[in-house]
Amino acid sequence: MKYVTIVVPDCELNLNSIAGAYEILTRANDYWQKIGNRSRLDVRIAGFVSESKINGGYFTVHPTDIGQIKKTDLLIIPSIFGDYAKTVKKNDGLIDWIGDQYKRGAEIASMCSGAFLLAATGLLEGKTCSTHWNAIEKFREMYPNVKIAEDKIITDENGIYTNGGGYSFLNLMLYLVEKIFDRAAAVFCSKVFQIDIERTTQSQFTIFHIQKGHGDDVINRAQMYIEENIDAKISFEKLASQLAVSRRNFDRRFVKATGNTPVEYLQRVKVEAAKKELEKGRKSVFEIMNDVGYADDKAFREVFKKVTGLSPLDYKNKYSKVELAS
């Protein structure tokens, strides 16, 4: 028997990640028994709080007392909302409990922004994790020694599992079902809950946010120049000279301020502009490629796919508005 604990932190929570994890795991266990096996899972929802109101109080979770659980084989941290730093501070006891369980041999899975609580245990130091693309900047600020796998849906390292944002926790649950039971059980759950079992990246869902809150005026000016000239061929050597800094110093400060090299930043800005035009569906891929300053079709396609995980045409077909014939 494998004991699973879905923890309930004291904060604003995502009900779907709690209920969804519970439903998928218990459904997989039911399937396992129906094909002639003994029950493999005991799933509990537990926390130090006796009640957690979710979504403005419309829903309420009543977890069991986590203090009564001496050992668990797998614990799952749901995604959280609100001020991450305050949430971490408010859940010291739970964070210590999670770290202690890992030392006792438990595996840990965090969903989306639940990675903030997991990282607070110190267990992710020097490791790689995934979280929601929209929380990456804050995560890096709070946990600079943890590497973010920006494009990955799931990471798996030393008994610690993490996943990207939103409903990608469903893919994490299928991943865990396959590890706990087998591939057939995961495929069964994929079909029952209609989850794409082969989804591996969140790149296509990412919206690139321009990082401007870093306080480096020189880099802010460089960013503005890049954003205003995405259709031009930019020489960063000349740009650094215009800003009265050496190229080496410019590159170092740019990476420190934005998390990207100047070239990466330029590519991300160009791709984000291209994505918006592709979503409108009015222009051809070739027209958009020229609009964002690419003359080489192959180079544009390679950069676009590197950033989004899709070709420009596939992205357009998937996300562009479709005019219905009247």
* Ranges of each domain in the chain: 2-205, 217-319
The enclosing H or E element of 60 equals: strand 59-61
C-alpha dihedral over 4, 10, 97, 174, to 10 degrees?
30
Characterise 4 by phi-psi region: left (phi > 0), alpha (psi -120 to 50), beta (else). beta
Instruction: Tell me which DSSP letter residue 210 carries.
Output: P
Q: Mention every residue, 6+ apart, whose C-beta is less than 8 A from residue 82.
A: 11, 12
The enclosing H or E element of 172 equals: helix 169-180
pLDDT tens-place values along the chain, 326 residues long: 999 999 999 988 888 899 999 999 999 999 999 999 999 999 999 999 988 888 777 888 899 999 888 889 999 999 988 899 999 999 999 999 999 999 999 999 999 999 999 999 999 998 889 888 888 889 989 999 998 887 677 888 889 999 887 788 898 999 899 989 998 899 899 999 988 776 655 555 454 655 666 778 899 889 888 888 888 889 999 999 999 999 999 999 998 888 889 999 899 889 888 888 888 888 899 999 999 999 889 999 999 988 888 899 988 888 776 544 33
Tokens read off for 52: 């957690």
**Contact 142/84 with Cβ under 8 angstroms?**
yes
Pairing type for strands 59-61 and 147-148 reads: unpaired
Q: What span, in angstroms and rounded, lies between the C-alpha atoms of 281 and 145?
A: 41
Domain 217-319 is in which class? Answer: mainly alpha
Instruction: Tell me which DSSP letter residue 36 carries.
Output: T
**Contact 258/214 with Cβ under 8 angstroms?**
yes
Q: Whole-model pTM? A: 0.66
What is the fold, at CATH topology level, of the domain defined by 2-205? Answer: Rossmann fold (3.40.50)
**Contact 174/186 with Cβ under 8 angstroms?**
yes
Q: Mention every residue, 6+ apart, whose C-beta is less than 8 A from residue 301.
A: 311, 312
Phi and psi of 48, rounded to 5°?
A: -85, -15
